[in-house]
Amino acid sequence: LHVLAIVFALEVSVGKTNTVMALNNSDVLLPCTFTTCIGFQDLVFTWYFNSTEMIYHGKIKSKASEPFLVGRNPRVEFVGSTTGKDNNISIVLKNVEFSDAGKYTCHVKNPKEKNAQHNATIFLTVVQKMVETDNTVTLIIVGVVGGLIGLLILFMLIKRVVLFIIKKTQDGKKECLVSSSGNDNTENGLAGSKAEQKAPPKA
């Protein structure tokens, strides 16, 4: 029974990140979707601000019907849909103010799953203006590190070439020495030559 409960569990999600940033006096989307393996009937969903203030309350009869409004804050607009592929119950908060910054909770209750309920939370930050991230320092660091790696690779290549040339030069000298020590010294009449020495004349 516990395994079945896990399989049929209601899940609610606000996406990959649970933080949203909005400009003062702009509109902001607060995303939320839900999933259930056995479907839903008379499903109820509610959006809360800072856990206590209800800002949107809706109900969905079945998968074949769109949600209908039960109650809402005048600045909140429903923009989701539940007859499509995703059970989207997202809302838009209009003309956000600094006082709107805080925690928003998307709460879902499904009577078809023995009133199973679940929620997900998203945090809203309201700013006066969007600040572009200055990546200058990062780019400088990356450039310096890349340059050092490049110099290191170049140094290693030069070292290998120099060692290769030195090795070839030493090998050439060894060949010369071997060749010199094996020369025939017959013409020079040196001792140890390969020429046959004449026998002393007989008296």
Cβ neighbours, 10 Å, residue 177: 10
Residue 177 domain flag: no
Residue 127: its pLDDT value, please? 94
Residue 138: its pLDDT value, please? 74
Residue 59 domain flag: yes
Please give the model's pTM, rounded to 2 decimal places.
Answer: 0.61
- What is the span of the domain harbouring residue 80? 14-127
Model confidence over 45-62: pLDDT tens digits? 999 999 999 999 999 999
Residue 40 domain flag: yes
Model confidence over 118-161: pLDDT tens digits? 999 999 999 998 766 566 777 788 888 888 898 889 888 898 88
Residue 133: its pLDDT value, please? 55
Q: Within a 13 Å sphere around the CA of 109, how many CA atoms are in the beta-carbon half?
A: 8
Place of tokens 């949107």: 56
Residue 54: CATH number of its domain: 2.60.40.10
- How many domains does the structure of the chain reveal? 1
Mean pLDDT over each residue of the chain, to the nearest integer = 83
Residue 152 domain flag: no
| H/E element, 53 | strand 53-60
